[in-house]
Amino acid sequence: MKKITFIGTGYVGLVSGAGVSDFGHNVICADIASDKIDQLLDGEIPIYEPGLNNLVERNVKAGRLTFTTAVDKAIQDADVIFIAVGTPQGENGNADLSAVYKVAETIGNNLNGYKVVCTKSTVPIGTGAQILQIINQYKSNEIEFDYVSNPEFLREGSAVKDFLWPDRVVLGTPSEKAYEVMMDVYRPLFINETPIVKTSIQTAEMIKYASNAFLALKISYINEIANLCDEVDADIHEVTKAMGSDGRISPKFLHPGPGYGGSCFPKDTNAIASLARQKGLTLRTVEGAIKANQYQKDRMVDKVKHLCNGDVSGKTIAILGLAFKQETDDIRDSAALDMIKALLKSNAVVKAYDPIANKNMSIKFPEVNYCLNWEAAVEGADATVILTEWREFRGMDLNKVKELMHQPVLLDTRNILPIKELNRLGFKYDNVGRKGINKDAL
Ligand code: UDX
């Protein structure tokens, strides 16, 4: 059992900290944001993440998980320190590392014995060397430490599952001693025969970016194929089903949609593309994926306008789904942001409903009419747009949708509604690459 401190209690730090405490270690989650720590100390979870509540509660009750704003002491008391602070996108696509550097300085100032310092935050390739340099600059000379890059592969909405049952654990370090310490931290996974990838620091950093950029590329690729299906009346569902049956392709991350969002893909693709350019290279595939993604979001707006005969001004448009994907309240880079901005700019009246993201979107766009259920959102609407694949939208009674709307016009950007039923009810609708589209009938 080790004493482990996580610095940063966002969805990576909190999920990973609670997960590591579930492995039997004594974990302190530290953050300078006293409001977050107060919430956690009151037993409240500041982020929406399925399963996180009872993971935290179970380990707090067992006395293995605590929270503090006293970062210095949390560092002094720990055997292993995880850096899990945010690295948001800064100017021209580079990641903003100011929080990481600040934490590195604090760690240097509080090293009171041998410790392993581990970065879980997503940091550009080469950042590990800078963190090492900062810690060495601020620590007392005689004290030793080792550094490990341990990137996370957590998806929002399934972060707890992804942490407790990962496809692999990546450990980037030159130190055998640090590697042994980390193997002890992740022992339950190791016993479960989870693949442990031992490599260099910069290779571990590259694995994270290369993985995320590839997944983003895969999504942009299938979105472009779906767009071509629109034009040749092919069915993207049948295409992806057949493609996914090829083990080399896999059916995962092959679902067309309105364009990817979230806190990672947009940031990580821009960061790796920007790093390449700094090194005199151009990642044409990644830059292509970034461009294709923005095109996809713009294309969804064009589709809505087409369904409204080219003019949405004065029309009431209902948006179902605001989060960048289901099972989260996160709207960062969500396709809904582009959609709402464009519709308001074209003088449409926008109504919206999302099971949990209404509040976050209302901060960005207070002028939208936020509804408490999908029925209220579609009532009187001239067109309805589905942007997030929440289960409750899959199960909507389309008869009721038709009754409530001013006219049965619908864009399904997640291809979750039954086309036959939409046809039978005489909807004028569109989606992303599904044949049998009845765009012009009403
Ligand atoms: C991603 C990576 O999956 C994860 O490994 C990394 O640690 C963080 O970034 P996340 O952004 O939380 O996770 O969600 P993810 O499920 O990857 O979806 C990202 C975006 O891609 C969402 O907007 C989603 O709707 C979209 N997407 C995903 C598709 O459009 N099609 C797909 O097939 C899969």
Determine the residue of 49, 290, 324, 432 to mutate for testing ligand 1's pocket, defined as the one with the most ligand atoms within 8 A of the Cβ atom. Answer: 324
Output the average pLDDT for the chain. 95
Q: How confident is the model at residue 192 (pLDDT cuts 50, 70, 90)?
A: confident
* 264 confidence band (pLDDT: 50, 70, 90): very high
- CB of residue 321 inside a 6 A radius of ligand 1: no
Q: What is the 3-state secondary structure (H, E, C) of 411-429?
A: EECCCCCCHHHHHHCCCEE
Pocket flag, ligand 1, residue 155 (CB < 6 Å): yes
Task: Read off φ and ψ for residue 212, nearest 5 degrees.
Answer: -65, -40
Q: pLDDT digit string (tens) for 121-179? A: 999 999 999 999 999 999 998 999 999 999 999 999 999 999 999 999 999 999 999 99
**Percentage of the chain surpassing pLDDT 70?**
98
Fold assignment, 3-198: Rossmann fold (3.40.50)
Q: What is the CATH number of domain 212-430?
A: 3.40.50.720
Tell me, yes or no, if 264 is annotated catalytic.
yes
Ligand 1 atom at shortest distance from the alpha carbon of 212:
2
Nearest atom in ligand 1 to 253's CA: 33
CATH 3.40.50.720 boundaries in the chain: 3-198, 212-430
Considering the candidates 118, 264, 308, 371, report the single residue annotated as catalytic.
264
